[in-house]
Structure 1
Amino acid sequence: MEKAILPDHWSQKKIWLHENIALGHISRKTEISLPQDQLPYTEGEYTIVCSSRIDNRELLCGKLGVPKSLQTDIPDALIVLKAYQKWGNDCPPEIEGEWAFGIWDNNKKELFLARDLLGNTGIFYFHQPGSAFVFSSSVKALLALDEIPKIPNDAFIAGRLANHLSQFQDTAYSGIYALESGYSLTLKDRELIKRKHTTLRASTITGMSKPEDYIESFLEHYQRAVDLRIKDQDRVGVTLSGGLDSGSVSALAATSLKDRGQRLSAYTSIPLFDTSLMTTDGRFGDERPYADATADFHSNIDMNYIDGKDVSILDGIYRHLEIHDSPGYAVPNFFWIIAILEKARSHGIQTLLTGQGGNGSVSWTGSPIRMSIPTIWDRVMRKEISKTSALINLLKYAMPDFMIHLYRGRPATAHLPILIPAKSPINADFADRIDLRGLYHTGYFHKIPKKFNTPIDKRLAIISPENQRPGNAWQESAFAFDMEILDPTRDRKLTEFCLGIPDTLYHDGKYDRLVIRQAMKNLLPDKVRLNQKRGRQAADSPYRLQQLHKEMESLLEAFQRSEIVSKRIDLTIMKSSLKVITHHVDNVDIDLHCSILLRGITTGLFLLRFENKI
């Protein structure tokens, strides 16, 4: 396990053994730990391994009786251990921040694992009842063990090809599972007990009578979330797009760093090709003008433009599979994320901030029961909504409130999978063989409601607090590139406060996302703050893929020769999509063809790992 996950920058290691129990921890060369923070750490009958950043140290130390003179220097892992000693398996809700830990309790002869609700953390595990239980923060470490079978999870693979989200606990490997966010796992007497320890809830906000009060408190919560993640860091970076989420994170980080006499390195992905043909829907494909405006607004932001010319889309896929050991989602983004992380590492960045989780929290659009006629017209002209959607909104405008509330209050329905071969690279026989539709109806795939009873329901579906995949992915990237990767927009206290703000404050008929727009006054330029167009990441992907058509053809030929791939992927459909991309980049369905090709390529390359092994 150690060799599988030990790049050059991870060298400090320690292993604890007790009878048939073993715990190990590997840390970076750059980490400086106090003697009592060397992990695994044993105190009496308890031994802990932990990765953590605790945000409520002072409050928690007070509850745990830690003297004030020791609170500054006490390691996070020791605080977690003391919390377990006081509250046992009920300790996770008491701990705020980003953390994942495992504790062997020799008194109870049980292993207790837990991970936080929204952070970039993760725990993977394999359980063979009566024989072995193994856990790690990395799938790669588990795969290094000969005792763990390497078998592809066909249900997961099918879902990936058909663009359905599998159960959050599942991974691409049969028998290897991920612990969902906000859950704990107890192993006692060779039996596993999993339970949800924390639920995301809207804060109950009192004492605020004016919109300005909410805006002021929102900004305080947001600034706190950013500051907690850059505290004591000398070299801080941020992924900066042209939007409000990463723009606001950048603005708040730059403000705090300026007070400390420090600079902020910003990394912005830019296209290599003209994106006008790919952004006829009113969106923008080059985020540089908006990112520049944000950087110019703050004197201590250093811009770094990443065009990805040295990291092709295929390079991004290969690196993604190497780091994450799984075919992932949003494949067109792999290459520029890898390129940004490589550049940030070369700059010695210690903490890289993102704003990925903002849609359901800090930059919630609001969910008005109706749009005004000028707003409907404006959004049609900007091609943000279709004419059909405009007609529906005009009908809502004419309806009395009680009818709209009745419509909203009906039982929520979920999308049914559309298994049309022309829209998916999945082999139809494979889909039938594993009963893909049956898997969906029995609840294997995560169902996204089509209609929501309340705005809170919709926001929780967007935030998807139990979905461990974003946190796992960023944690694995952090391991690979020797830095912390943190997202203030997924801070639990901030998110719950945002959920508690009345929905009417998020929109006014002209602007959506009104809370963050108002809060960012004097922090972001109006060009960014009031912009209602959305950016489109990797908008020039079709052109990048055109340049790779020879390599893609070779891969499809290799897939054709592979039984494990050809039985699961419809290569005829993939070849058809590649032909369209190669010769007709102006095709109205070019996005669909890119999606088909890239999902198939990523999954096919993953499946080749198992050639002649199953």
Structure 2
Amino acid sequence: MYTSANDDLLLLAAIDLSGGPEWFGADWERALRALALGKAGDVLHGRADGAAFATRAEVRPGMARPVRQRAHPFRLQPDGSYVLLAGRLHHADEVCARFGLSAQPDQASLYAALHAKLGEECDRRISGDYAVVQWWPSQRKVRLARSPVAHAPLHVMRDGNRLVVCSVPGPIFALGHQARIDDARVGGWLLSGCGPPDRSFYVGMTCLACGTQEIHDPAGRSVRRFWSLRDAPDVRFKRDEDYVEAVEEQLRRATAAMLAGARSPGIMLSGGFDSQAVASFAAEHLGPQATLRSYTSVPAREASPEDRATSFGDEGDHVRDLCAMYPQIKPTFFDAANLRFGDRLNAMMLVSGWPVYNETNAHWFHAGLEQAAADGVDVVLTGDSGNAGFSYDGWTGFPTWLAEGKWRRLVRELKAFPFDDRPLWRKFVSRAVMPHLPLSAKRRIDEGRGWRGSPFASWSPLRADWARESGLLDEVGDDGFTLYDYDVATSREWRDRIVTRSTNGGSEILLGFELLYGVPIRDVHAYAPLLELCAGIPDEQYLRNGQDRWLGRRILSGRVPERVWKELRMGRQAADWPMRLQRDREAMLDELESLNRDERIAEVIDLPRLIKSLREWDGQDNPQRGDSTRLVSALGRGLSTARFIRFAEGRNVA
């Protein structure tokens, strides 16, 4: 049986596609040392016909000894290839039985056997969270692949026939590539929250997007995307109950896949649908005699954030109610009051080589993982992708029913919709018609209405003039989904964008957390068969008689506390941010003033605006003024990204 002990967390391959002499020999030791940063297992390395390989095990060594670098003979597969695999294949024993494969010594060999049998359809017919490098010396060909929903990233640098592929950027720089930041990528990160999924933060490098295969040979490079939630097949059952049963079955399979090999599991647990669903299915899978440790962030005692009509600030009681239903869940509540803004940001950048998007909200994840590691937890479950799956709200039903000519359902649901008290005709235009219009038309309609504020006055720290003059606004102009917060026309489009954004760019952040604390992180809802099923289910299963998240509520009824599955409000993560920001204000102002004297940073980030906002802030959280978007989002992202630019380019880091 394949377990987590077989898994590799990182991979590194340096290859000469021309068959010439090794060009990486002198720097190889430096690259291995870069691969060994952080808390994970041993580094195995070896040479093979024009290539050098290294992998790093996910399981960290015993506390009594350091990480070792050991020479290792990488296996030549029966098809003449060498295969490196970072991550995991799900249900490996089941896959062997289904495709008539004999037992394999490791997951890389299993993948090689699957590819030899199934060819390029291999990645469509299996499930996993992985990134793969295959090297055929006789053909001088490299094949890269990344699973549809993966937090196993892959960074690629090609210079002529010199090719380096690695899970993290650091070893690529150790092999001689210059670390120079792509300002356009930074701009997209700070304006629309993402960028093209294959675009790196570093000039001269690319990233392999999820659900993508890539071929390199002396003639060039070819790329093929083999998976997208936009292509998920329709799912239609006779009874409403059939949808619930089908999703429950996939949630059970997802839970089993993520818990495979775990001996002491834990979960990052909130008061919301997604993590509570994970906890309930995990408790069911583990049984009443097992222990599932949970880690929940609560506000600092002196903060006391208020509840609001649409949100609540303390998720502790929701979690306590769940633990009362499942005694095997052993909760830990923490406020991370000792962590200040950016305390561990430099360490994160060192191990991951990547910026952190929501640093203002990172303290609770640091504190939870630190405690989980101290408790001996060997797998931490999350529910990050639930909104794109079973707990989707169904709001794209309005434009979908319009396009499908389902007028009765459309009118009935518009009348019943509880979150919009405008006249019916206004709701019809806004919720059913507008999502189908091109972005340019939406912007013309909104001109002069004043209620959609500019991102440069709220959540984006970029300088508006730089964004215009650099061409950034033209580049992201068709992406109204995030930039202008417009609704989209179909649930598949919405889900695909959410999943693409979270896995391309966010994967490096999760990997950084793993390396910092040595605990694997697995998102139960990021299970491709589950996401495909949920994407194919019609919107009327998610929005019915004015009840949003209808499918999720039916699944969770009786499984989690009633106050959770009936909850219409959202939990506010880091709701104690005013107390934290007030405490850290002077240090942050000093750093902002220092950055404002750095022409490299000040050209891109609107530091005077951030300084003014922080100086004039009255210390309160006023949603009408947009305090949280200006201070938490713009300020936090601007500061952390400025630190990243300085760090990556070897400049002074505050």
TM-score, normalisation: structure 2: 0.82
1:48 counterpart (83, 96, 99): 83
Q: Which residue of 2 aligns with 1:349?
A: 377
For the residues of structure 1 that align with 2:124 and 2:581, how far apart are their CA atoms?
46
Distance 1:408 1:571, change over 3 A: closer
CA contact 2:268–2:380 (8 Å) conserved in 1: yes
Does 2:589 correspond to 1:568?
A: no
Does 2:117 correspond to 1:82?
A: no
Query: Over residues 160-196 of structure 1, what are the superposed CA-to-partner deviations in whole Å (9 max), with x where a residue is unaligned?
Result: 3435422111232222221100001111115121111
Q: Which residue of 2 aligns with 1:589?
A: 626
For the residues of structure 1 that align with 2:313 and 2:481, how far apart are their CA atoms?
32
The alpha carbon displacement at 1:557 in A equals: 2.6
Counterpart residue type for residue 295 of structure 2: Y
Q: Which residue of 2 aligns with 1:5?
A: 35
Q: Percent of counterpart pairs with the same letter?
A: 22
Distance 1:469 1:96, change over 3 A: same
CA contact 2:578–2:619 (8 Å) conserved in 1: no
Structure 1 SS opposite 2:206: strand
The alpha carbon displacement at 1:50 in A equals: 0.8
Counterpart residue type for residue 313 of structure 1: F
Counterpart residue type for residue 310 of structure 2: G
Counterpart residue type for residue 482 of structure 1: G
The alpha carbon displacement at 1:578 in A equals: 1.2
Distance 1:448 1:225, change over 3 A: farther
Counterpart residue type for residue 458 of structure 1: W
Query: Over residues 24-65 of structure 1, what are the superposed CA-to-partner deviations in whole Å (9 max), with x where a residue is unaligned?
Result: 112245589xxxxx7843224221111242224355324643
2:474 counterpart (428, 434, 438): 438
Structure 2 SS opposite 1:291: helix
Distance 1:462 1:223, change over 3 A: same
Number of residues paired by the alignment? 585
CA contact 2:621–2:628 (8 Å) conserved in 1: no
Query: Over residues 243-289 of structure 1, what are the superposed CA-to-partner deviations in whole Å (9 max), with x where a residue is unaligned?
Result: 11000000110111125x31101111111156666654520111111
Counterpart residue type for residue 301 of structure 1: I
2:642 counterpart (593, 604, 614): 604
Q: Which moved more, 1:191-200 or 1:315-324?
A: 315-324
Counterpart residue type for residue 294 of structure 1: L
Counterpart residue type for residue 606 of structure 1: F
For the residues of structure 2 that align with 1:111 and 1:209, how far apart are their CA atoms?
47
TM-score, normalisation: structure 1: 0.87
Q: Which moved more, 1:38-47 or 1:587-596?
A: 38-47
CA contact 1:351–1:484 (8 Å) conserved in 2: yes
Distance 1:443 1:361, change over 3 A: closer
Counterpart residue type for residue 455 of structure 1: S
Consecutive unaligned residues in structure 2, runs of 5 or more: 1-30, 63-71, 399-409, 444-451
Counterpart residue type for residue 172 of structure 2: L
For the residues of structure 1 that align with 2:160 and 2:354, how far apart are their CA atoms?
25
For the residues of structure 1 that align with 2:537 and 2:494, how far apart are their CA atoms?
15
Does 2:405 correspond to 1:364?
A: no
Does 2:141 correspond to 1:141?
A: no
Q: Which residue of 1 aligns with 2:242?
A: 213
Q: CA RMSD in A?
A: 3.1
For the residues of structure 1 that align with 2:202 and 2:539, how far apart are their CA atoms?
41
The alpha carbon displacement at 1:561 in A equals: 3.0
The alpha carbon displacement at 1:428 in A equals: 4.4
Query: Over residues 406-447 of structure 1, what are the superposed CA-to-partner deviations in whole Å (9 max), with x where a residue is unaligned?
Result: 837844537879766544432345334422223334889987
For the residues of structure 2 that align with 1:26 and 1:231, how far apart are their CA atoms?
20
Counterpart residue type for residue 379 of structure 2: T
* Correspondences of 1:50-129 after superposition (within 5 Å): 50-58=85-93, 60-62=95-97, 64-67=99-102, 70=103, 74-129=105-160
CA contact 1:275–1:286 (8 Å) conserved in 2: no
For the residues of structure 2 that align with 1:134 and 1:190, how far apart are their CA atoms?
17
For the residues of structure 2 that align with 1:296 and 1:554, how far apart are their CA atoms?
47
Q: Which moved more, 1:500-509 or 1:432-441?
A: 432-441
Distance 1:448 1:15, change over 3 A: farther
For the residues of structure 2 that align with 1:390 and 1:183, how far apart are their CA atoms?
44
CA contact 2:298–2:333 (8 Å) conserved in 1: yes
For the residues of structure 2 that align with 1:586 and 1:443, how far apart are their CA atoms?
28
Query: Over residues 70-107 of structure 1, what are the superposed CA-to-partner deviations in whole Å (9 max), with x where a residue is unaligned?
Result: 4xx75322110112222344422222121111111123
Query: Over residues 310-331 of structure 1, what are the superposed CA-to-partner deviations in whole Å (9 max), with x where a residue is unaligned?
Result: 2222215444433433333233
Distance 1:255 1:442, change over 3 A: closer
2:281 counterpart (249, 252, 257): 252
1:153 counterpart (169, 172, 182): 182
Structure 2 SS opposite 1:192: strand
For the residues of structure 2 that align with 1:264 and 1:590, how far apart are their CA atoms?
37
The alpha carbon displacement at 1:342 in A equals: 1.1
Consecutive unaligned residues in structure 1, runs of 5 or more: 33-37, 380-384
